[in-house]
Structure 1
Amino acid sequence: MSLFKIRQKNPLIHCITNDVVTNFTANGLLAIGASPVMSDEPLDVEDMTSIANALLINIGTLNKHSVEAMFLAGKKANKLNIPVVLDPVGAGATKYRKEVTENLLKEIKFDLIRCNAGELAAIAGIQWQAKGVDSGEGEMDILSVTKEVAKKYKTIVAVSGKEDIVTDGEKADFVSGGHEWMTQVTGTGCLLSAICAGALSLEGDSYENILNVLMDYKKVAEFASKEKYLGSFQVEILNGLHQISRGEAI
């Protein structure tokens, strides 16, 4: 239902995201009726954020230029009460990524942290063997840690995996379904973060809107998996998003 509501609102989503996924993210937002804009120029981002309905900060391909833009845009969004999503891609992979993530969380109030288990561990300071920007391997009580992070930063946290977890630090929900091919197409998680930004721009309960998006996204993955080839799977993700956001069964 949240995807349908996003189409009705047609929110402008400002995405400071990584170079690998810009096109797919923009097309995914367009597929659900949102309006994407991608700007990471420090001289431009404050003005762009000011007219946006939500902001996504994705640290996938960091550089000094984009990091400066992230802080400027995030602080402007906070000042104007515009919702902000953090996607801490590969937060535990390098010292620099971890430092940037920690500083973003210190200086900007995020309405949602959308991550995988490895990124969650990095934020929580738990030992984890990251594999680049992939989730990697390690051991932790994911639900407990997710709640702790949500409470610490006073935000909603959504952790993607075979079974997604979403919590505000008190209540928590699990979302099952989906398909393993979502991990084999670059940008699917990044797109989900952008869509969640769209959900946060809606009226009503933010937690429920995020939960509904996660449920719909699992359905889209199952719909797309009917295709035989991985390349077609990526296209079918867009088709599935387009259909479900129009209220059509998939």
Structure 2
Amino acid sequence: MQKLQAIADLLTEVKTKKPLVHHLTNYVTVNDCANIVLALGGSPVMADDAAEVEEMVAIASALVLNIGTLNGRTIDSMFLAGKRANRLGIPVVLDPVGAGATTLRTATALRLVQEIELAVVRGNIAEITALAGGSAQTRGVDAAGPCADAPGIAAALAQKLGCVVAVTGAQDVVADGSRIGLIDNGHPILARVTGTGCMATSLVGCYAGVTRDYFRAAAAGIITMGLAGEKALAALAPDDGIGSFRVKLLDQIDRLTPEEFIQGGKYHEA
């Protein structure tokens, strides 16, 4: 309970400090990522042109890099922004969307983890396995199936990269090389809404903008998404469908309190 309280305290920090979260993200989910940061209490900015990313990241509290819709222009911008963030001590959160699916995605993700100092990497098991140098089955940008050793893979990659690694799936894992947190919040319906993984990464970025404990930040972001998904599902009327769920998901993020976080968070350390 004490550890969950420490994680939940970050929600108050976000609402008080309103961190500016700079995104270089994909155009499929950019609006949802912006809205979920606003719902949590942060402030999003989605600047991705090379001519301004270094200037923009300099005033941000955190930087989120999401490779969901890669192109040469934004790849260059990601490295400019990431290296500028490193020089200024601004945390960088990476979402390696689809790593392992194509040569471009895998090579870009591997370059980012090699050349940019990261605070958190958040992905599904296929993406995290690809970064760890293994092979995992992918379907488009989604993992094709579960992995029994997600905690071990996450812990090993966290140790290798010197950052926090979060793996989202049926059971979510957060690891930093010395701690492994397991999270059982969420529901399969979240997978039916495009971009819930991207949104979870944006939540992690928001929390990372108010603390130097990036393990706590990653856990807070993942628990927030899972818990909000549970509450949104419970709030659906009999005739509501996936569109209503998407709206209610934002509603629940907006209304979430530290007390609800503590009461509903399903977190323990291995």
**TM-score grouping bracket, smaller chain normalisation:** over 0.9
Report what 1:239 is aligned to: 251
Structure 1 Cα separation of the partners of residues 138 and 222 of structure 2: 24
* 1:161-180 equivalences in 2 (<5 Å): 161-180=169-188
Query: SS in structure 2 opposite 1:203?
Result: coil
How far did 1:128 drift?
1.4
Show structure 1 runs of 5+ residues with no match: none
Percent identical residues: 38
Structure 1 Cα separation of the partners of residues 258 and 147 of structure 2: 40
How far did 1:129 drift?
1.4
How far did 1:79 drift?
0.2
Structure 2 Cα separation of the partners of residues 72 and 35 of structure 1: 21
CA contact (8 A) 1:7 1:246 kept: no
The one-letter amino acid of 1:212's match is: A
How far did 1:138 drift?
6.9
How far did 1:27 drift?
0.8
Query: SS in structure 2 opposite 1:43?
Result: coil
Structure 2 Cα separation of the partners of residues 139 and 193 of structure 1: 20
CA contact (8 A) 1:32 1:245 kept: no
Q: Normalising by the residue count of structure 2, what TM-score does the alignment of the two structures yield? A: 0.88
Query: SS in structure 2 opposite 1:62?
Result: coil
Report what 1:57 is aligned to: 65
Query: SS in structure 2 opposite 1:56?
Result: strand
Shifted more, 79-88 versus 135-144: the winner is: 135-144
The one-letter amino acid of 1:184's match is: R
Report what 1:155 is aligned to: 163
Match of 1:17 among 12, 25, 40: 25
Structure 2 Cα separation of the partners of residues 6 and 245 of structure 1: 12
Is it true that 1:133 corresponds to 2:133 in the alignment? no
Decide whether aligned partners of structure 1 residues 245 and 58 sit closer, same or farther in structure 2, where only a CA change above 3 A counts. farther
CA contact (8 A) 1:12 1:37 kept: yes
CA shift digits 1:9-44 (9 cap, x unpaired): 101000000000011111111111111000110011
CA shift digits 1:64-107 (9 cap, x unpaired): 00000000000000000000000000011101100001111111
Structure 2 Cα separation of the partners of residues 203 and 139 of structure 1: 30
Report what 2:42 is aligned to: 34
How far did 1:217 drift?
2.1
The one-letter amino acid of 2:165's match is: V
Q: Normalising by the residue count of structure 1, what TM-score does the alignment of the two structures yield? A: 0.95
Number of residue pairs the alignment of both structures matches = 250
CA shift digits 1:159-205 (9 cap, x unpaired): 00111000101110100021111111011110111111111111363
How far did 1:245 drift?
5.0
* 1:1-250 equivalences in 2 (<5 Å): 1=8, 2-137=10-145, 141-203=149-211, 205-226=213-234, 227=236, 228-245=240-257
The one-letter amino acid of 1:230's match is: I
CA contact (8 A) 1:4 1:247 kept: no
Shifted more, 1-10 versus 17-26: the winner is: 1-10
The one-letter amino acid of 1:231's match is: G
The one-letter amino acid of 1:164's match is: D
Show structure 2 runs of 5+ residues with no match: 1-7, 265-270
Decide whether aligned partners of structure 1 residues 16 and 247 sit closer, same or farther in structure 2, where only a CA change above 3 A counts. farther
Structure 2 Cα separation of the partners of residues 245 and 190 of structure 1: 22
Structure 2 Cα separation of the partners of residues 76 and 242 of structure 1: 31
